[in-house]
Structure 1
């Protein structure tokens, strides 16, 4: 593996290579036998559907390497990953909760939000956590972007977050985890590693903290990468962000099992 942050060579996955072969075969078939166009078109459409399905599956490695669990060497630990911030109300309270549990977390921040709240990003780093790339604007159509637009969006967040946090991100998480075949070559060129999760609590949509915690703890084990949110956080009946109570339950469960928390940088890259 290349040193953290350095560009690396992109190698197509079998699915991407197969799709390219289907396209080449379709063109060759049309050149030889134009009447075979229905079969050629069908093959191309099927390959596109397969690529789209892979991009809609956040934990898939069909489009490129994807960290969905910690490596074997870090399996006595878990990683808490926190998306969509920083949020001026929620993030400081999450930081206090992490301090109370002596826990470390990985914050996947949105570049524009980091620029709006630089002091919070600085606090994340000062309190022993790491800040990674969750795109510059968190666009809903992110997975529909071409390679040029993807690179501009991700590189903008690299520059924004790097300038505030004092270190450029080493990991990337796509908005909602959705992506397309153009993403992995861009990440390779920027020296970024794609990371998703083992399980998520859906804490942006569920107002019951106990239910969020149960989702995160179902099958809970060493090596897990768990996903919660400080941005776009759902609120309970009393207006409190559900991430606070849910994360407290998860961290208590981890302590009871003797599991330490670790940032992705420390667990995956030893950085």
Structure 2
């Protein structure tokens, strides 16, 4: 793990307000262990098996942290809304826009007067710009879910990561009219290079509190139960308008998940907000 190479990725684009990158304890510890192992080998060459083993162990720990989407071991990660959100919760919708599903999701959200956060894929946004415009026009937030949503994202180096995220940032800012302020990694998977890249681009990493696995489930009821079981204030929920699983009749599950989910939240006196409203400390605004 090379701490210097991580710092090198912290470059501020002209259009962004960068955040200062602070290595997490796990990353700092891994860097220190690498330095210690190298020094040990120089001082006592016969100690190389111990040094190599410790380096491998540190890499395995970093990999494990990146495979855990809700982990904060590699840097800050929004898994719940901040305390000032009070009784509010956030609905996040991934992998769109989708020309069939997204308009129907928007209609449901309108019906329940709910504002959501859409994590959009840049290539799909470029293909369906009118859908991104509709998301914004209806009062929802558009955030960054990478340009191409490639499953190799989590094993990419900092240059590739920056190029992928920055391309989506330009695409979505151009179509939506305002730049995204949050990023969600494809499948939630990442590596230690991501946080310094996000800092340089002025973005915040967001995952979720609970998800329904609505891209793989067979029944809407199962998805709804997963989302509602233990639902509490400040939770961040994840569903999908893109890559949505379908029931036996071919209907996207999310369309049958949202109505009972939104009704149950209202019955529990929970209010919906967007991530960026909470970032600004104005949880009641989109």
TM-score (norm 1): 0.97
> Which residue of structure 2 aligns with residue 62 of structure 1?
73
> Which residue of structure 1 aligns with residue 9 of structure 2?
none
Q: Does residue 70 of structure 2 align to residue 32 of structure 1?
A: no
The Cα shift of 1:75 comes to: 2.4
> Which residue of structure 2 aligns with residue 270 of structure 1?
281
Alignment of 1:100-179 (within 5 A): 100-179=111-190
The Cα shift of 1:252 comes to: 0.6
Secondary structure in structure 1 of the residue aligned to 2:247: coil
TM-score (norm 2): 0.92
> Which residue of structure 1 aligns with residue 96 of structure 2?
85
- In structure 1, C-alpha distance between the alignment counterparts of 2:113 and 2:269, rounded to whole Å: 13
Q: Give CA deviations for 1:177-221 in whole Å, capped at 9, x if unaligned.
A: 000000000000000000000000000001200000000011101
The Cα shift of 1:249 comes to: 1.3
Q: Give CA deviations for 1:22-55 in whole Å, capped at 9, x if unaligned.
A: 1000100110011100000000000000000000
- In structure 1, C-alpha distance between the alignment counterparts of 2:100 and 2:131, rounded to whole Å: 10
- In structure 2, C-alpha distance between the alignment counterparts of 1:157 and 1:22, rounded to whole Å: 35
Q: Is the 8 A contact 2:27 2:74 kept in 1?
A: yes
> Which residue of structure 1 aligns with residue 3 of structure 2?
none
Q: Does residue 232 of structure 2 align to residue 221 of structure 1?
A: yes
The Cα shift of 1:270 comes to: 3.2
Secondary structure in structure 2 of the residue aligned to 1:258: coil
Unaligned 5+ residue runs, structure 2?
1-15
Secondary structure in structure 2 of the residue aligned to 1:41: helix
The Cα shift of 1:123 comes to: 0.1
> Which residue of structure 1 aligns with residue 8 of structure 2?
none
The Cα shift of 1:243 comes to: 0.5
Unaligned 5+ residue runs, structure 1?
none
- In structure 1, C-alpha distance between the alignment counterparts of 2:139 and 2:168, rounded to whole Å: 21
Alignment of 1:9-48 (within 5 A): 9-48=20-59
Q: Is the 8 A contact 2:84 2:281 kept in 1?
A: no
| Count of aligned residue pairs for this structure pair | 267
- In structure 2, C-alpha distance between the alignment counterparts of 1:107 and 1:28, rounded to whole Å: 48
The Cα shift of 1:268 comes to: 2.5
Q: Give CA deviations for 1:167-186 in whole Å, capped at 9, x if unaligned.
A: 00000000000000000000
Secondary structure in structure 2 of the residue aligned to 1:83: strand
Q: Is the 8 A contact 2:121 2:149 kept in 1?
A: yes
- In structure 2, C-alpha distance between the alignment counterparts of 1:39 and 1:128, rounded to whole Å: 57
